[in-house]
């Protein structure tokens, strides 16, 4: 059987059940998100991203080698931005995102 790389959509059927991704939420002066994984699932990279005019900016990232990774970005200055929590598995083999949320700092 030949080996084929999975696209994010194809990877979803076997990987998605392994990860819990919370949509970003606002604390007192920070934006936070969280990614968790079941023990026997692949490690990955958890990211908190903010949408800019040129695309998505990574504002915090953590290796997901344990069971969870908390993400945080200080909400300073002014402006309203859209954020999302993302987990990337095996260098883009699977990329899973939370819903996006907008916050004003």
Question: Tokens 């004003």, residue?
Answer: 104
Q: In whole angstroms, what is the distance from residue 26 CA to residue 32 CA?
A: 6
User: What is this structure's pTM?
Assistant: 0.81
The full set of domains in the chain, from first to last, is 8-99 (2.60.40)
pLDDT in tens for each of the 105 residues of the chain? 333 333 444 444 446 678 899 999 999 899 999 999 987 888 889 999 999 999 999 999 999 888 999 999 998 888 999 999 999 987 656 788 999 999 998
């Amino acid at each position: 059987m030949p080996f084929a790389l999975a696209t994010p959509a194809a990877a979803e059927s076997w990987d998605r059940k392994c990860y819990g991704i919370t949509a970003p939420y606002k604390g007192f002066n920070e934006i936070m998100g969280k990614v968790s994984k079941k023990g026997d699932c692949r490690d990955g990279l958890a990211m908190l991203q903010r949408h800019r005019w040129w695309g998505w900016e990574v504002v915090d990232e953590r290796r997901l080698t344990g069971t969870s990774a908390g993400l945080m970005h200080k909400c300073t200055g002014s402006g309203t931005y859209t954020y999302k929590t993302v987990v990337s598995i095996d260098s883009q083999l699977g990329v899973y995102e939370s819903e996006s949320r907008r916050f004003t700092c």
